[in-house]
A and B are shown apart, each in its own frame.
Chain A
């Protein structure tokens, strides 16, 4: 039998660092927060600004769920302190598209069923946007490699790949992903409006 002390590294609490005013520029808006330096960018978004679209999957830079864009570059927001990001342009999933106007990546992720539980999804999409900004990936192999900083435990990788490839290909050919793909095909024509008048049976 041995005696073990689960001990503080500093036995006595030191004085807590005071909070300070930090202004973050997120999705085109300035947000001024009163926070201590130990607040990560991820926690600032989730806990102080209610921008919970950015996810915490490991808090150690090992999963990519917290990916946001800083000055157009994808980073892990869990490993960055909020105070380090003053003056940067931060873009989160909330700044990418809206329900009425989905970003082509968001639409492609739905069309290709590129997620299941959805928890890694905002990080995957922000990461894919970062990948597009970098312009280094062309082939499927390159996209796989350069999307490997985002784990997906549901295993949606093949669909994530096809979603990103679609947007990448459209961007390269200069076409926009204007319209969502209709999964339902012609059989649904006319049947998709909730307030429709009685309709005749299809032949």
Chain B
């Protein structure tokens, strides 16, 4: 970890000014991923701007009937917020599928969007990585890429975005509110994270100095039919190999609205509107689900050790859609009962 100075910013505009005035500075919300990356020397900010006093930790109803999540609300407070539990259970499930209770108590909603990939090579300074050091090469290509992308990757980078929460936010069509040197603006969730292309060092479309101030959830929460299915190498406290966030509206067995987004498969939460369109108007049956799954993975490309994720993702989509339809799902794997003979 390098040396840095620290100051709590008193207000949003002051924070933004401070950021603009100090090259090499960074915002710090809950800590977690940024502190981790600083210990690995992947991030070397020379000044940290604390956000704790900005008062952005509330969760409030918004005028359009939706819900506004303050950027500094913790993941845990968000997941357990009564309105989130009641109206956006998909978001509740996704958040609780990620990290650990301790990390969810620290990590903020804004920070969740800003977390960086878990690519082994990104984290290890002994190996080349275009995301960490542009132009040095991608070690994951041709290497160990179990947790890497099967969709939307480039020759420069096959990293994945590790968030669970963001997969649900993508499916729910959240909006990101930001403040920056040029004032406030909003970013549609699908436009927030980006694909690596030839500039994988950029994870998202924030302009320099911009600060996430909140997330807006639209009024429609899909509280009746939804599923967040996460598959990983152990039951809990592990990043997704593949995760699926799906939400449906059903009318007499016919799908009238559908959302489908995947985690662990791309540089950004992977929402597929074409697949959603294939679901809408169709009966909620296994055939329909398989058609949608095939669409999502149509352009998938394995990188060697992650080839299995293409098939796994297909099966996960079908299962998640089935769970969302039937809503008798096993919420997590712990529901396995013992069968003493």
> A1 within 8 Å of B by Cβ?
no
Rounded to whole angstroms, the CA-CA distance of A14 and B24 in the bound complex is 12
Binary CB contact string for chain B from 96 to 126 against chain A (1 if under 8 A, 0 otherwise): 0001111101100000000000000000011
Given the complex, which residues of A lie within 8 Å of B332, measured CB to CB?
141, 145
> A83 within 8 Å of B by Cβ?
yes
Rounded to whole angstroms, the CA-CA distance of A37 and B4 in the bound complex is 7
> B237 within 8 Å of A by Cβ?
yes
**In contact, A16 and B3 (Cβ under 8 angstroms):** yes
Looking at B1, B101, B105, B236, the one whose CB has the most chain A CB atoms below 10 A away is: B101
**In contact, A76 and B334 (Cβ under 8 angstroms):** no
Looking at A36, A40, A136, A148, the one whose CB has the most chain B CB atoms below 10 A away is: A148
Given the complex, which residues of A lie within 8 Å of B237, measured CB to CB?
148-149, 151
Given the complex, which residues of B lie within 8 Å of A149, measured CB to CB?
99-103, 237
Rounded to whole angstroms, the CA-CA distance of A141 and B30 in the bound complex is 28
B93 to chain A, nearest CB (A): 12
> B182 within 8 Å of A by Cβ?
no
Rounded to whole angstroms, the CA-CA distance of A83 and B36 in the bound complex is 16
Name the residue of chain B whose CB is nearest to the CB of A140: B334
A37 to chain B, nearest CB (A): 4
**In contact, B334 and A37 (Cβ under 8 angstroms):** no
**In contact, A40 and B35 (Cβ under 8 angstroms):** yes
**In contact, B3 and A74 (Cβ under 8 angstroms):** no
Q: Which of A76, A84, A141 contacts B103 (CB 8 A)?
A: A76
> A103 within 8 Å of B by Cβ?
no
Given the complex, which residues of B lie within 8 Å of A131, measured CB to CB?
101
Rounded to whole angstroms, the CA-CA distance of A150 and B1 in the bound complex is 25
Q: Given the known A-B contacts A73-B105, A79-B31, A142-B334, are A148 and B236 also in contact in the complex, defined by CB atoms under 8 Å?
A: yes
Binary CB contact string for chain A from 180 to 203 against chain B (1 if under 8 A, 0 otherwise): 000000000000000000000000
A2 to chain B, nearest CB (A): 12
> A134 within 8 Å of B by Cβ?
yes
**In contact, B4 and A38 (Cβ under 8 angstroms):** yes
**In contact, A130 and B52 (Cβ under 8 angstroms):** no
> A105 within 8 Å of B by Cβ?
no
Given the complex, which residues of B lie within 8 Å of A148, measured CB to CB?
100, 235-237
Given the complex, which residues of B lie within 8 Å of A67, measured CB to CB?
102
**In contact, A17 and B106 (Cβ under 8 angstroms):** no
**In contact, B52 and A141 (Cβ under 8 angstroms):** no
Give the number of residues in A that approach B within 8 Å (Cβ atoms).
Answer: 41
Rounded to whole angstroms, the CA-CA distance of A80 and B30 in the bound complex is 7
Name the residue of chain B whose CB is nearest to the CB of A59: B39
Give the number of residues in B that approach A within 8 Å (Cβ atoms).
Answer: 37
Q: Which of A6, A40, A61, A145 contacts B334 (CB 8 A)?
A: A145
Given the complex, which residues of A lie within 8 Å of B46, measured CB to CB?
14
> B308 within 8 Å of A by Cβ?
no
**In contact, A79 and B3 (Cβ under 8 angstroms):** no
**In contact, B39 and A60 (Cβ under 8 angstroms):** yes
Given the complex, which residues of A lie within 8 Å of B40, measured CB to CB?
60
> B41 within 8 Å of A by Cβ?
yes
**In contact, B3 and A80 (Cβ under 8 angstroms):** no
Given the complex, which residues of A lie within 8 Å of B63, measured CB to CB?
none
> A122 within 8 Å of B by Cβ?
no
Binary CB contact string for chain A from 63 to 84 against chain B (1 if under 8 A, 0 otherwise): 0100100100111101111011
**In contact, B102 and A74 (Cβ under 8 angstroms):** yes
State which residues 72-119 of A face B: CB under 8 Å: 73-76, 78-81, 83-84
Q: Which of B44, B100, B103, B125 contacts A10 (CB 8 A)?
A: B44
Given the complex, which residues of B lie within 8 Å of A130, measured CB to CB?
101-102, 105
B111 to chain A, nearest CB (A): 11
> A127 within 8 Å of B by Cβ?
yes
**In contact, A84 and B2 (Cβ under 8 angstroms):** no
Given the complex, which residues of B lie within 8 Å of A61, measured CB to CB?
32, 36, 102-103
B259 to chain A, nearest CB (A): 26
> B5 within 8 Å of A by Cβ?
yes
**In contact, A75 and B3 (Cβ under 8 angstroms):** no
Binary CB contact string for chain A from 148 to 163 against chain B (1 if under 8 A, 0 otherwise): 1111000000000000
> A33 within 8 Å of B by Cβ?
no
**In contact, A10 and B2 (Cβ under 8 angstroms):** yes
**In contact, A9 and B44 (Cβ under 8 angstroms):** yes
Name the residue of chain A whose CB is nearest to the CB of B336: A141
Given the complex, which residues of A lie within 8 Å of B334, measured CB to CB?
141-142, 144-145
> B197 within 8 Å of A by Cβ?
no
**In contact, B100 and A64 (Cβ under 8 angstroms):** yes
Given the complex, which residues of A lie within 8 Å of B2, measured CB to CB?
9-10, 14, 38
Q: A17-B6, A59-B39, A75-B106 are in contact. List 14 more A-B contacts (CB 8 A).
A: A14-B2, A38-B3, A70-B105, A74-B102, A76-B103, A79-B103, A80-B31, A80-B106, A83-B50, A84-B52, A141-B335, A142-B334, A145-B236, A150-B100
Would you list 21 pairs from A and B whose C-beta atoms are within 8 A, ordered by A residue?
A10-B2, A14-B46, A17-B6, A38-B3, A38-B4, A60-B40, A64-B102, A74-B101, A76-B100, A76-B103, A79-B35, A81-B48, A83-B6, A84-B50, A127-B101, A127-B102, A130-B101, A134-B80, A145-B236, A148-B100, A148-B235
